[in-house]
Chains A and B, each alone.
Chain A
């Protein structure tokens, strides 16, 4: 790898030299930071092998969920419900795997609160079920836009669907699902699909054209103000037109996303129920998949830090490798903290909704908080590198 970095440095220097000599006014480079080529490669790996594939799978599964629910609506069988529930869980898995990068489109466009607000407002839901004219409108809601316009965020997204499809950790008996409930879930699933497409397309300029077309039809925002995708914005770090004035800031944003989710899982998702003895803070009480959610959240951190999702990871092209080169001890702490957090979460007594006071929950909480702290150290260590 020494060879890689040595030649990368020479390449970087020649690029700078060429650009600088040809014309100072024409370059869009705004910084003279070090290790530019290495950082560019890390950013590219992160985008192509963590962000884009995660959102891609989320989008695909959200789309499949719509067709599964349409199938269920046409033919209300337990088998069809079970299939829809399995697809729901797969889609949710990929959403939770994206939570190390909730910055960008997920927050700027309010997609996170739109698709992941909880708890569901049961009073509001019951009120909806008595509004026959609104249900009739939802029945005609071919593209999810009625759900988007007419339903409160506390009815939409994953948790709206989870409430109808699951009870006590399993698919509900299909007989409990009325026709009006089905009208609701199909409309909500279409709206969820639209926003999952929005995440995918807003980051990845090469997202499927069909997804881009749907969003254009729905007039969804899919770029920054200057027309760049979030992926392009990060790729252009250190150049004019990017919100990252250096590539270091882009790497620090990668870690910042990790810090945010590690802290949230530790302090809020596990910590608040555990220390406050308050089960109303448990996030997925109907499907009882909280522990899976937490595991996916920290795996998301691992993918972001280690250079890609499982099956397409290249640790040499990662923030982990970059930090290891200048501070092996710190990197080892981070890697250890990630593995420790995942282990402790997997070790939690299941289901979380019934065991949030257990000692195993406390250990997982602490492991996540430690992870958040060491990631903050890693973020600072990136200054001037």
Chain B
């Protein structure tokens, strides 16, 4: 009798634990080949079934070390740090393998700081005298291009046209960062296109990392499928900001919509700067964040402006030969410093030894392609189902397109290190995946907006596990949103492509708003 009463009490107001035998296709967020059913703290760190089936698990674990470990200047196996660097490890920017964290200051060594500094003039043109991702660290005897101890991040309050309040009275906070860097923090002159700009024209903004899991699955989305999505959105004409003409020319790709000299479109980063994964953020970052060279990336991430400044700096000149005796090649220390930093053709081949071995780079890419997406959770929860229905009805699913079908996944490598469909890497053919993004840029017109205002729809998959996997759940490109509601309401500007959807969200009763949040956390 006791058991019966308990059963009745339970079903009336508690949800039931989902049964693992009832698995819909949506649960397989990364497809059968790309999903992990881990929902514990290591959920973002598992190898895909494809990786395991291909017998690549050991290589995956070896490659993982090159992501997690701190780099040193000369102590193997993780050697090669410097002369300038952004972070001394990859996980430093991708804490817990997830999204960067909201920070109150910028220090390369602060745990969780996933921010890249964005240095531009007032026209959104990147400074030419600084690397696209500015470095704040240097090894002796060099000086950092910018003194990070002088960088200030100020968090400001924003009140939207609705007073940060829903019609039923529930309130939300909106805050956003502004960055201030005093003129004396810059070691290298401020230049655009090689010409000096006045300090008053300098702008600095922040862009945070997002997670890395599932990037192999995205790489497997066929080019034609993405093209069809662009054409559809263009033809539909629903977006008040249209599509970015730098990506789409009306009935075909814009020349700058394709990656480098390839025929492949760009899919990765907020600014859509990268195409095939083998030459995308991770493959490049393993080199440019730490300045660890490997066979197809033997230069230094560097600017001529920095090299010039450093080579003419008497402090650097006084010590260079002590620290880098092997680069005493001409006897003219200014020339030797410049050539070393630029790693140009004045440096003999004998000194151009890759710091990262081929085998280690391969293992790293096995890991990178091989990271699994966590399965969606609790999809049979009625609140989650309600949230999903609303997500679609309101139009969120237009930009946050729920699913894609991968193709044959005959991946390519524009950098030429891997061959097409290289058997050393895992592949994801013919998978239905659920990233919740159209991989197209839109404009939200946020206060202190992202550079150019165009921002790729960030994939939503897996984000609900962020607190478990990383300790925090900050969202949006500069980590300004600390809750899902804040992230949604930052979509609400009157000129935003999501304006009408946000208006509908505001009209929902609280129970339905909470259901939408629960759904977003479940995928």
Contacts and interface: CB of A to CB of B under 8 A. Distances in A.
Contacts of A246: 17
Interface in B1-53: 2-3, 5-6, 9-10, 12-17, 19-20, 38-42
Interface string A16-53: 11001100100101111100000000000000000000
Interface residues of A, number: 60
A108 B2 contact: no
Interface stretch (A67-75, A117-125, A184-192, A320-328): A117-125
Contact of A252 (B14, B16, B40): B40
Contacts of B472: 108, 225
Contacts of B468: 243
B81 A121 contact: yes
B17 A31 contact: yes
A278 interface: yes
B91 interface: yes
Contacts of B40: 103, 249, 252-253, 256
Contacts of B16: 32
A14 B6 CA distance: 8
B17 A33 contact: yes
B88 A153 contact: yes
Interface in A78-121: 103-104, 107-110, 113-114, 117, 119-121
Interface string B294-305: 000000000000
Given A110-B112, A113-B70, A267-B58, A280 B42 contact: no
A232 interface: no
Given A107-B41, A268-B65, A13 B6 contact: yes
A3 interface: no
Contacts of B109: 152-153
Contact of B2 (A10, A153, A383): A10
B185 interface: no
A278 B77 contact: yes
Given A21-B9, A33-B17, A153-B88, A119 B72 contact: yes
B61 A268 contact: yes
Contacts of B415: none
B77 A31 contact: no
Contact of B75 (A107, A108, A122): A122
A107 B472 CA distance: 12
Contacts of B72: 119-124, 154
A8 interface: no
A17 B9 CA distance: 7
Given A108-B96, A253-B40, A268-B61, A16 B112 contact: no
Contacts of B417: none
A29 B70 contact: no
Contacts of A16: 6, 9-10
Contacts of A103: 40-42
Contacts of B140: 127, 130-131
Interface in A344-385: 383-384
Contact of A32 (B10, B20, B42): B10
A113 B91 contact: yes
Contacts of B69: 117
Nearest to B38: A256
Contacts of A124: 72-73, 139
A263 interface: yes
Contact of A243 (B13, B81, B467): B467
Contacts of B482: 225
Contacts of A127: 139-140, 323
B20 A383 contact: yes
A109 B111 contact: yes
Contact of A110 (B15, B62, B107, B111): B111
A305 interface: no
Contacts of B75: 119-123, 154, 280
A289 interface: no
Main DSSP-derived SS at the B contact region: loop
A13 B17 contact: no
B95 interface: yes
A103 B2 CA distance: 39
Interface in A238-293: 243, 245-246, 248-249, 252-253, 256-257, 259-260, 263, 267-268, 271-272, 276, 278, 280-281
A205 interface: no
B88 A154 contact: yes
Contact of B12 (A20, A113, A268): A20
A224 interface: yes
Pick from B19, B62, B96 the residue with the most CB of A within 10 Å.
Answer: B62
Contacts of A13: 2-3, 6
B77 A281 contact: yes
A128 to B, nearest CB: 9
Interface in A284-335: none
Contacts of B42: 103, 256, 259-260
B77 A32 contact: no
B471 interface: yes
A20 B13 CA distance: 8
A41 to B, nearest CB: 20
B92 to A, nearest CB: 8
Nearest to B7: A32
B17 A32 contact: yes
Interface in A204-256: 224-225, 243, 245-246, 248-249, 252-253, 256
A253 B91 CA distance: 21
Given A127-B139, A243-B467, A20 B10 contact: yes
B41 A384 contact: no
A120 B69 CA distance: 12
Contacts of B107: 149
A62 to B, nearest CB: 19
Contact of B471 (A24, A33, A108, A256): A108
B241 interface: no
A107 B92 CA distance: 11
Contacts of A267: 58, 61-62
A383 B78 CA distance: 39
A21 B15 CA distance: 16
Given A13-B6, A24-B12, A123 B41 contact: no
A119 B482 CA distance: 36
B89 interface: yes
A27 B16 CA distance: 15
B125 interface: no
Contacts of A130: 140
B406 interface: no
Interface of B: 2-3, 5-6, 9-10, 12-17, 19-20, 38-42, 58, 61-62, 65, 68-78, 81, 88-89, 91-92, 95-96, 107, 109, 111-112, 139-140, 323, 378, 467-468, 470-473, 482
Give the 3 A-B CB pairs with smallest separation, nearest first. A110-B111, A108-B471, A20-B9
Interface of A: 10, 13-14, 16-17, 20-21, 24, 27, 29-33, 103-104, 107-110, 113-114, 117, 119-124, 127, 130-131, 149, 152-154, 224-225, 243, 245-246, 248-249, 252-253, 256-257, 259-260, 263, 267-268, 271-272, 276, 278, 280-281, 383-384
24 contacts: A17-B2, A17-B9, A30-B15, A107-B41, A108-B95, A108-B472, A114-B111, A117-B70, A119-B75, A119-B78, A120-B72, A120-B75, A123-B74, A124-B73, A127-B140, A130-B140, A153-B70, A153-B88, A154-B70, A248-B17, A259-B42, A272-B62, A281-B77, A384-B17
Given A121-B73, A246-B17, A276-B62, 8 more contacts: A110-B95, A122-B75, A123-B74, A152-B109, A225-B473, A243-B468, A256-B41, A384-B19
